[in-house]
Structure 1
Amino acid sequence: MGNSSAHSPQGPAARQTAMAELVLAEGSATAAELAERFGVSLMTIHRDLDELERQGIVRKFRGGVTAQPSGVFESNVQYRLKTMRPQKAALAAHAMRHIEPGMAVLLDDSTTVLEMARRLRLGEITPLTVVTNFLEAINLLAGQRGIHLMALGGDYDPLHASFLGVSCVEAVEQLRVDVGFLSTSGVHGGYAYHQEQHIVSVKRAMLDAAARTVLLVDHTKLSRVALHRVAPLSHFDLLLVDDGASPEALRDLDEHEVRHEVCATDPKERASL
């Protein structure tokens, strides 16, 4: 269609990401609605939806599409790496204030905390011991001067690009770090939630292994639940959230006496996406 450039992000990958975010927000959409919204043909929309379905992000039905259950949708690490990037950058920049030279820090396998690994790679805070089970973070920090990297072993899970399972939990239980940085799928009613039990067990072990813990969540995770409770928010020393959080969601944190800080998102980063 001639008006595709006016409505659609450049390139199929960017369009598919925007389409996935729309379907997640709305819950479902028809192919005709998506074609109009993105200014492309129905044939193009169906090709995009076929690709998103192949990735396990959406489920097609006659004439439309729905978001897959959160357990499938949110587990896809390649999708998670693309979403809420300015907000994750703001959270990571704020969280770096809690790291000092000489510390042992633990990073979980969330793409939010991965933004901290990107900053640690710059070598501005050294020496450090960094412990993680996330292959993306391991690849970023391996061989970096001033960083003693401890990679947690376990069963490699390609969907999450991380090491999990009983052996990972046991490895975490043998450690004691100064501060742990974690993220979860949802925060509501005084609890942190995650959709997958095998990841919950690792996050709980990480909570116990850290003298202090910081929970990083972008605003889309507030007032959301998932299948499993990870822990009460009182088990975290601090919750960081970006400035997109609604007043109602922040009130919920206040009502449950959750210590939290709101992190300002760089408007230039937000506008660049």
Structure 2
Amino acid sequence: MSATDSPERSRPAQRQVEIAEHVLQHGSVSATELAEMFHVSLMTIHRDLDELERQGVVRKFRGGVSAQPSSVFESNVSFRLRAAREEKLALARQARALIEPGMAVMLDDSTTTLEVARLLEDDAGPLTVITNFLETIKLLSGVRGVRLLALGGEYYPTHDSFLGVPCVEAIEALRVDLLFASTSAVSGGYAYHQEQEIVLVKRAMIRAAQRSVLMVDHTKLGRAALHRLAPLREFDLVITDAKAPEETLSEMREHGVRYDIA
């Protein structure tokens, strides 16, 4: 990850997202290194780190910072909404081409599939969309031509979505043409996620879909999380972006995984 000193990058909220991503990728880093990377003062970096520590994303120690074992960043929707926006949009455009009028399409609670929903706002045609993500529900609630089914369950504010047994049971009563899903980590031919509640819902979604598509930008490749979600070969297609490392793509080919580059 690289930093620039453009006005957009210098905004504290965006800078904190990038700091969190960098710390998660490297495990720990010094405050001095971060100050040099983002072209800001050491005092500014410490303010950023104080805010990230307050939110439970990182843990400060003398002279530096490390990632919290819980990887709150990967769960917190406010962070995920700002991360890898360009890559997510590229994946969404690729995914949108797979959607045909009359389909029943399920979208999980990822900010990646939220970008797919944004592309349905205009001229979606007759379409049924099923989701447990409140942001997607609000986005599509007034879109002409979209029949919207909201999956219930227990509301989790951190994810801004509905999870738990009621959500799984609602999914199990459905059969959809196409599922678009994302996850926090991919490695060794498997998709992973750090939270079991999310894993259970995503597995139910895979079972409910005739075809399933996994959308993962390059920042999620070559990483692992606590819970194994599913083998990549269970997805009919994996969509990633042009920055995906060749090592990971080669690994996918070895496991017989079909993938497209957005």
Residue 21 (structure 2) pairs with residue 21 (structure 1): yes
Q: Which residue of 1 aligns with 2:150?
A: 151
Residue 50 (structure 2) pairs with residue 50 (structure 1): yes
Match of 1:74, SS state, is helix
TM-score of the superposition, structure 2-length normalised? 0.93
**Equivalent position amino acid for 1:158 in 2:** P
- How far off its partner does 1:221 sit? 1.6
- For 1:214 and 1:85, the matched residues in 2 are separated by 19
Q: Which residue of 1 aligns with 2:189?
A: 190
- How far off its partner does 1:149 sit? 0.6
Q: Which residue of 1 aligns with 2:214?
A: 215
Contact 2:91 2:239 in 1 (8 A): yes
Residue 209 (structure 2) pairs with residue 205 (structure 1): no
- For 2:42 and 2:50, the matched residues in 1 are separated by 12
Contact 1:88 1:112 in 2 (8 A): yes
- Stretch moving more, 233-242 or 30-39: 30-39
1:221-267 CA-to-partner distances (Å, cap 9, x unmatched) read 2222111111112211111111111111110000000011111xxxx
**Equivalent position amino acid for 2:61 in 1:** F
User: How many aligned positions are there?
Assistant: 259
Residue 132 (structure 2) pairs with residue 133 (structure 1): yes
Contact 1:67 1:73 in 2 (8 A): no
- For 2:224 and 2:203, the matched residues in 1 are separated by 17
Q: Which residue of 2 aligns with 1:60?
A: 60
Label 1:154 to 1:31 Cα distance change in 2 as closer, same or farther (>3 A). same
- For 1:7 and 1:105, the matched residues in 2 are separated by 38
- For 2:140 and 2:106, the matched residues in 1 are separated by 13
Label 1:141 to 1:42 Cα distance change in 2 as closer, same or farther (>3 A). same
Unmatched segments (≥5 aa) in structure 2: none
Unmatched segments (≥5 aa) in structure 1: 264-273
Match of 2:100, SS state, is coil
- Stretch moving more, 203-212 or 9-18: 9-18
- How far off its partner does 1:41 sit? 3.1
Contact 1:91 1:216 in 2 (8 A): yes
Percent identical pairs in the alignment equals 64
1:178-237 CA-to-partner distances (Å, cap 9, x unmatched) read 111111112222211111111100001000111111111111222221111111122111
Label 1:101 to 1:5 Cα distance change in 2 as closer, same or farther (>3 A). closer
Contact 1:157 1:164 in 2 (8 A): yes
Write the mapping of 1:64-103 to structure 2, written as runs, cut at 5 A: 64-69=64-69, 71-103=71-103
Residue 170 (structure 2) pairs with residue 171 (structure 1): yes
Structure 1 stretches of 4+ moved >4 Å: 4-8
- Stretch moving more, 51-60 or 130-139: 51-60
TM-score of the superposition, structure 1-length normalised? 0.90
- For 1:65 and 1:241, the matched residues in 2 are separated by 30
**Equivalent position amino acid for 2:53 in 1:** E
Label 1:209 to 1:48 Cα distance change in 2 as closer, same or farther (>3 A). same
Output the aligned Cα RMSD. 1.8
Residue 246 (structure 2) pairs with residue 247 (structure 1): yes
